[in-house]
């Protein structure tokens, strides 16, 4: 075995050990976590403001931060590499003060509205999700999307800013899917299904809070 190959094996083994130790040391810092939770210990997290459900994989090196709000991630969620979730914002309205020097007060809650991601969501590589956004159950966020407004259940969104491309299935299939996965009290309400029916018949358009699910 060549010296370069040996050094590479030593480096890889050491990296795995370091990552494993770091993961064990930090996993307990999350505000809540379910079973079968996978996260990259080399990601960036404000652990104490992040709640994660069951069967969740946060992908490779995400940035998930919210200093004064909550980021809630449901069950059966998967991220691609390098997803960014930002649960807050900065003030840009102060005259005579550099933005970096502006401190938030207790009345600035509207600047830190958190993020909620429903069950069975897939967030693609390097997508960015900004504060105040709810990602509805079953949605897909395309790679590189910048999500500034809430996403309806079972919608596929892409672009900057993110727009609804289509639903994953016709509404009848979504209903059948819900019936197989969720008890009656957790299925989409009639009003939510009606909103999806309207969305299914419309061309691609910006996602708005009026059509947001969950």
Catalytic residue among 54, 60, 90, 131: 90
Active site residue 90: yes
Tokens of 38: 């996978």
Give Rg (Cα) of the chain.
Answer: 20
Q: How far is residue 135's CA from residue 104's CA, in Å, rounded to a whole number?
A: 26
Give the rounded distance of the alpha carbon of 194 from its chain centre: 25
Q: Which residues of 37-67 are buried (b: 16+ CB within 10 A; e: fewer)?
A: bebbbebebbeebbbbbebbebbeebebbbe
Residue 63 C-beta-side C-alpha neighbours within 13 Å:
10
Q: How far is residue 142's CA from residue 127's CA, in Å, rounded to a whole number?
A: 7
Query: How many C-beta atoms lie closer than 10 Å to residue 155's C-beta?
Result: 27
Catalytic residues: 90
């Amino acid at each position: 075995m060549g010296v370069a190959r040996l050094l590479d094996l030593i480096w890889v083994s050491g990296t795995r050990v370091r990552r494993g130790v770091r993961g064990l040391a930090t996993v307990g810092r999350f505000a809540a976590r379910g079973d079968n939770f996978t996260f990259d210990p080399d990601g960036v997290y404000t652990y104490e403001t992040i709640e994660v459900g069951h069967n969740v994989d946060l992908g490779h090196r995400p940035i998930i931060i919210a200093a004064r709000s909550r980021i809630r991630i449901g069950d059966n969620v998967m991220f691609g590499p390098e997803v960014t979730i930002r649960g807050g914002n900065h003030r840009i309205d102060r005259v005579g003060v550099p933005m970096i020097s502006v401190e938030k007060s207790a009345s600035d809650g509207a600047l830190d509205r958190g993020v909620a991601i429903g069950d069975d969501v897939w967030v693609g590589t390097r997508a960015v999700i900004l504060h105040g956004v709810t990602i509805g159950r079953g949605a897909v966020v395309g790679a590189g999307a910048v999500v500034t407004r809430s996403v309806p259940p079972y919608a596929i969104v892409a672009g900057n800013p993110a727009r609804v491309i289509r639903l994953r299935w016709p509404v009848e299939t979504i209903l059948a899917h819900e019936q197989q996965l969720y008890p009656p009290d957790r299925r989409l309400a009639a009003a939510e299904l009606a909103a999806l029916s309207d969305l299914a018949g419309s061309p691609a358009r910006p996602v708005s809070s009026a059509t947001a699910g969950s």
